[in-house]
Structure 1
């Protein structure tokens, strides 16, 4: 089967199955099978290079034992295949008995199936999907494995239109741009504490791969990235993604990065990183037990705020970070947001904020987002704000017209030759001193968009946007009121 038609063919087969409802479940169904297929190919490599290698997976549960159809009538199908997958494969992999200190290449198998699901109810259709995957790509062939990377990217992009699953995927153009600007070097550690499908990590790996020249460099490369993901589907996608990038021991963990006192990391060098690239989840909230893992001044009901605080605690001295935040963070005036912005200015050399246009994350969300670039260990000398406008000919981004890396070319050109820019009496790029930002009440809503295109949005998006606009106006009114009271000598 041609690689270009693989994903569509798989989705068409699964649409006939009564157990699968929607694109998100179809993607999850494909993902656990791709994982086992890729893992089996990696095991062939490990066996070839090490005669003593023994699989952690029981022989009957290995892909080569049950999934490969030799066309001799012996392959499991129908009710027998369904029974095997539901009652032996999934429980067997989720319950693997691993010794303490087992290598990550073994741990990821158990973690991958701890919360995984088989949604298909028709064993004949399941056999058709398994055969299509097994016949499509020979992962032991280097060229085919890397050609499959394009198909895997198609699966990840499909997440954006798969309901809430879209929250796990950041457009590749954005991850590539951020990684390029932060410029990780071989020997540095790169982390994403809510890594989703691994987009930031693989963007960093592409840059690190170019620096590999010796076998020793390859060893350093293989230990370069770290990630943690709370939800099962993106975790499994991420692990498979890294295996495809020849990371045999992926340091990717299934859990909540916020579920620990952040102050402890300052005493653990292994918990600190040279580079952090992140799109922290926003719009969510954590319970009080999670908030208690942060100093009182940084406790927030907004998940994105907590992750930003986590970055501050887990960056090494002189470490570099790029993080995406919604507009609400820029103009937010609650205690945690103001304290975060104060620390970014006074302790973490916040030096650049790139304001991205609406619809970068469409169709998942139309909330406007921004990229913060900062470094740990010294105060900011001032912050450059740059407004990234829509490319010529675009009203908005969409699934069929997504943001591309070349759309960042004007940003990169400006980045390397910084200057203030005004367009139609509105600042497009401007430098603000720390004093100016402090005097403005830490309102970072600067170099914004002078004209918003009116767009008909779903009710939930309208509500989110109205709430964000109300917060922005409240912050602006509070700042003006505080300024007036200060002039008049009146206490609020």
Structure 2
């Protein structure tokens, strides 16, 4: 977890940019992302060079022989602020945004072509580079935490329901779904591509065969990862994020996933998403088939209808939804839950505590895991888990604590055959479809969880009264003794 010292360094960068006159939080995040990308790109190159030397293999660097001074490890050592500024602005930044070439239709080249370097003062750039160089970005988890803290600077965060998904929650969801090398994965509201990055890391850690098979490797780099977003800055950040994690050409697009322009159907085998819960919605532009499935203006319900449409038969989804989806009483809420349960297979509902999204929001959420079926194959039973802790305090500070249900959730979900005998008083248990139908398709865990109260035996009233009487006599005696002593003085 990010420390106070690191937060202080980032706050210092923010103050420097703000003092310069750059007051747009999203612009500042974008500029800092470019610099972090330059640092990490050089780090990745150094690792590849070392591996090539160790294995005795040839290696062609991204940085040509005559452009080694573009690398972070050399750039940061320039003593003159003016020299550093001129080099970055006129040579390094243009080199970075054209890394994939002007003709290659990659996500990186497509969304980086409009990028602008907007740090305007040499002294500002030098000070920011000095601080970024001190940030511990070697560790991917720490890098993710640093980036999350940067995103928290967005004053408008949450106005469109785009709350940042904590990295450890993303990793847990990916571990629950266990993506395979053959999967085609999409996040229709991708933001900075957190789910796609985590899925790519899972692949590298668990599927070595991916890079030994030419066809699978090609699939990994070009067809496995898909994402949509309506913010061009986030698309640039997502493209850089994916490239840093070794995915050459993810299929990410500037697109309103809910609009009539999105014609995708039966295309993906895995959806990983935390779609917007609220915010503005152009109802007239929403795809008609989604409104046919669920007539509503609630984006969370429309996104669930979208997921069912774009999944292949047999495709799976793990998505975060606000608690209202689980128990909302509107016709749209009930119809969608009924569709999930009776026309598809709802596998699991993981209830999360409201503090998971702090300090950005205190909304209560749950993870829905479901499978799209090719026929009217009903759900037989649904697995529920009552998450009470995620390894961090549930207040705005989100400090590390010992209580953490995440490993237990992964262990239990990946061994569901051992869950059948659990009681409703446990953290997890199964509920049959018939019982959920009887409860108006309510999916809130409190509807089914049983709480075990410890029986407390109290003394009989006459015994309690007798004890009170004795205490009262003692108090009166002590008061009398005290008055006597005062009188003697």
Fold match (TM-score > 0.5): yes
In structure 1, the residue matched to 2:144 is 153
1:110 and 2:113 matched: yes
Cα-to-partner distance string for 1:157-194 (whole Å, 9 max, x where unaligned) = 31464344374521122111111111111121121111
1:215 and 2:212 matched: yes
In structure 2, the residue matched to 1:466 is none
Q: CA, structure 1 residues 319+365, in 2 after alignment: closer, same or farther (shift >3 Å)?
A: same
CA contact (8 A) 1:355 1:370 kept: yes
1:351 and 2:347 matched: yes
Distance 1:407 1:177 in 2: 10
1:33 and 2:40 matched: no
Cα-to-partner distance string for 1:372-422 (whole Å, 9 max, x where unaligned) = 110111321122222122379x76254442689943133234432214433
Q: CA, structure 1 residues 446+374, in 2 after alignment: closer, same or farther (shift >3 Å)?
A: same
In structure 2, the residue matched to 1:476 is none
Distance 2:81 2:124 in 1: 17
Distance 1:350 1:219 in 2: 32
Q: CA, structure 1 residues 73+106, in 2 after alignment: closer, same or farther (shift >3 Å)?
A: same
Q: CA, structure 1 residues 71+325, in 2 after alignment: closer, same or farther (shift >3 Å)?
A: closer
2:168 to 169, 173, 178: 173
More deviation in 180-189 or 197-206? 197-206
CA contact (8 A) 2:190 2:227 kept: yes
CA contact (8 A) 2:172 2:406 kept: yes
What aligned pairs does 1:29-108 form with structure 2 within 5 A after superposition?
29-35=31-37, 68=75, 71=78, 73=80, 75-76=82-83, 98-99=102-103, 102-108=105-111
Distance 2:41 2:364 in 1: 38
The structure whose Rg is larger is 2
What aligned pairs does 1:369-380 form with structure 2 within 5 A after superposition?
369-377=365-373, 378-380=377-379
In structure 1, the residue matched to 2:444 is 445
In structure 1, the residue matched to 2:125 is 126
Stretches of structure 2 lacking an aligned partner (at least 5 in a row) = 50-57, 452-489
SS at match of 2:424: strand
Q: CA, structure 1 residues 346+21, in 2 after alignment: closer, same or farther (shift >3 Å)?
A: same
CA contact (8 A) 1:177 1:405 kept: no
CA contact (8 A) 1:229 1:256 kept: yes
Query: Paired residues, what number?
Result: 415
TM-score by length of 2: 0.71
Q: CA, structure 1 residues 402+196, in 2 after alignment: closer, same or farther (shift >3 Å)?
A: farther
1:183 and 2:174 matched: no
In structure 1, the residue matched to 2:466 is none
Q: CA, structure 1 residues 69+331, in 2 after alignment: closer, same or farther (shift >3 Å)?
A: closer
SS at match of 1:16: helix
CA contact (8 A) 1:11 1:26 kept: no
In structure 1, the residue matched to 2:336 is 340
- 1:147 Cα deviation (Å)? 1.7
SS at match of 1:412: helix
CA contact (8 A) 1:198 1:241 kept: yes
CA contact (8 A) 1:259 1:290 kept: yes
- 1:276 Cα deviation (Å)? 0.9
Distance 1:302 1:77 in 2: 49
Distance 2:81 2:26 in 1: 32
CA contact (8 A) 2:75 2:84 kept: no
Stretches of structure 1 lacking an aligned partner (at least 5 in a row) = 138-143, 452-492
In structure 1, the residue matched to 2:424 is 422
SS at match of 2:316: strand
1:200 and 2:195 matched: yes
1:258 and 2:258 matched: yes
CA contact (8 A) 1:324 1:372 kept: yes
SS at match of 1:295: helix
CA contact (8 A) 1:168 1:197 kept: no
CA contact (8 A) 1:82 1:121 kept: no
2:399 to 398, 401, 416: 401
Cα-to-partner distance string for 1:324-366 (whole Å, 9 max, x where unaligned) = 1111111112233222212211222012111111201111111
SS at match of 2:138: helix
Distance 2:167 2:228 in 1: 19
TM-score by length of 1: 0.70
Cα-to-partner distance string for 1:267-311 (whole Å, 9 max, x where unaligned) = xx6xx1111111111122411233244233423212211211111
Q: CA, structure 1 residues 40+109, in 2 after alignment: closer, same or farther (shift >3 Å)?
A: farther
What aligned pairs does 1:460-475 form with structure 2 within 5 A after superposition?
none
Distance 1:245 1:399 in 2: 29
Distance 1:177 1:438 in 2: 29
In structure 2, the residue matched to 1:464 is none
**Cα RMSD (Å):** 4.2
1:435 and 2:431 matched: no
